Amino acid sequence: MKKVTAFAPATVANVSCGFDILGFAVEELGDRVTVTFSEEPGLKVTKIEGDQGRLPYDVDKNTCSVAVKAMLEKLDFQGGIEIHLTKGLPLGSGMGSSAASSVAALEATNRLLGNPLDKKDLLPFAMIAEGVACGAPHADNVAPSLLGGFVLVRSYDPLDVTKLHVPNGLYCTLVHPHFELNTADSRSVLRQQVPLKDAIIQSGNIAGLVAGLFQEDMGLISRSLQDVIAEPSRAVLIPGYEEIKEAIKEAGALGCGISGSGPTTFILSPSREIAHKVSDISQEVFNKMGLEVDLYVSAVNIRGAYVINEE
Ligand SMILES: Nc1ncnc2c1ncn2[C@@H]1O[C@H](COP(=O)(O)OP(=O)(O)O)[C@@H](O)[C@H]1O
Ligand SMILES: N[C@@H](CCOP(=O)(O)O)C(=O)O
């Protein structure tokens, strides 16, 4: 085998109350990476498409190559590999764009080398790339993008991630208003201390959300979609967010939150029909604020990253 192409999906990190510890993958949206053996030793990013010329070719800056470089060092691989990235995700959108690139690159490279590593063992390399992209090696985008479904990061040290149950009939709406929020900037607005009363509220909600997913209890999921840690500092950066939050609940959605560090807003609904209805409602609110949007309705992607083609 000389050439492998892999796809990695977009992700919703945090899922409201699970700051840096919860995320899920969505369908269809994502990045594609092709890796090819080359005669010349070393790693190279040779082509990037779909980024309007904005992403770095520097091996130590592009998340694809940062992740693959760390993996090749671990495997003590001495040959040559070329990377071709096709971006399907907008940058700075809160849909795990930097993560989808590194995860697709790792999935493709692992197959190219004959699968020397288990899927889960690729995670630390993708986290190194997140550290380069946004200053923090958080796993709540890379883990669901790689593994699919809802993923909980129980611990960072040692790394302990686990897949959660995905209830039947759960749908997600992603509303992406056309402006960018850089993850590093959205992290810099966060408080560094959490009052005890907020820690109690947040812990209850995380536990409630996890229990709600396993029990397929839509009411419990709905009540648990509350974030008192990151959202209060970040919601002010997204015009119309509070209005959407109220309107979608009235229309039957379970609740909403900021997807990752925003500005994309995710809404969870108990049916596809409601997911489409709240998509229209959110579009109206953002348009009223003078913002154009992209809209996506999706079930939760349970497959994660996968190889599309090998030659
Ligand atoms: N392959 C890549 N895809 C996306 N961003 C990348 C990539 N490689 C490096 N970056 C850098 O990482 C940052 C990604 O921004 P970020 O706000 O984290 O996006 P997102 O929230 O969509 O992941 C940008 O500064 C970008 O230049
Ligand atoms: N937990 C992180 C998630 C960032 O997600 P992104 O898609 O905006 O990169 C955070 O909230 O900072």
Tell me how crowded residue 200 is: count the other CB atoms within 10 A of its CB: 12
Residue 100 labeled ligand binder? yes
Determine the 3-state secondary structure of 68 from DSSP. helix
CA nearest to 101, candidates 53, 49, 136, 52: 49
User: Are residues 26 and 148 both part of a single domain?
Assistant: yes
264 lines ligand 1 (CB under 6 A): no
Whether residue 52 sits in one domain with residue 132: yes
Q: Are 159 and 207 within one domain?
A: no
Cα-trace Rg, the chain: 19
What is the pLDDT, as a whole number, of residue 265? 98
Q: What is the reported pLDDT for 53?
A: 96
Give the model's pLDDT for residue 77. Answer: 97
Ligand 2 site-directed mutation target among 26, 63, 138, 191, most atoms within 8 Å of CB: 138
Name the residue with the closest Cα to ligand 2, atom 5. 260
Pair (102, 198) in one structural domain: no
Dist. CA 174–CA 182, nearest whole Å: 18
Query: Is residue 148 located within the same domain as residue 210?
Result: no
Mark the ranges of the chain whose per-residue pLDDT is less than 50: none
> Residue 33: nearest ligand to its CA?
1
Q: Tell me the C-alpha distance between 287 and 195, whole Å.
A: 36
Rounded CA-CA distance 154/165 in Å is 15
Can you list the alpha helix ranges (DSSP code H) found in 216-251? 218-224, 231-234, 241-250
Domain of 133?
A: 3-164+301-310
Residue 91 is assigned to a ligand binding site: yes
121 Cβ contact partners less than 8 Å away, ≥ 6 residues apart:
none
| 242 & 126 share domain | no
Q: How many domains does the chain have?
A: 2
What pLDDT, on the 0 to 100 scale, is given for residue 111? 98
Domain CATH code at residue 196? 3.30.70.890
Q: Determine the distance separating the centroid of ligand 1 and the alpha carbon of 246, expressed in angstroms.
A: 31
Q: Within this chain, do residues 192 and 256 fall inside the same structural domain, yes or no?
A: yes
175 alpha carbon to ligand 2 midpoint, in Å?
16
- For residue 259, give the 3-state DSSP assignment: coil
Shared domain check, 195 and 278: yes
Same domain, 77 and 201: no
> What letter represents residue 126's amino acid?
A
Residues labelled as active-site residues: 130, 183
In sequence order, what are the residues at sequence separation of 6 or more whose Cβ sits closer than 8 angstroms to the Cβ of residue 189?
233, 234, 237
Residue 187 CA: distances (Å) to CA of 17, 134, 231, 302: 15, 9, 11, 28
Sign of the Cα torsion 266, 205, 23, 252 reads negative
The reply to whether 84 and 176 lie within a common domain is no
Kindly report the CATH number assigned to the domain that includes residue 69: 3.30.230.10
pLDDT digits (tens, 9 = 90+) for 228-248: 999 999 999 999 999 999 999
Residues 160 and 179 reside in one and the same domain: no
Spacing, Cα 186 to ligand 1 middle (Å): 13
Give nearest CA residue, ligand 2 atom 3: 260
Residues 141 and 204 in one domain: no
pLDDT digits (tens, 9 = 90+) for 32-63: 999 999 999 999 999 999 999 999 999 999 99
pLDDT given for residue 19 in this prediction: 97
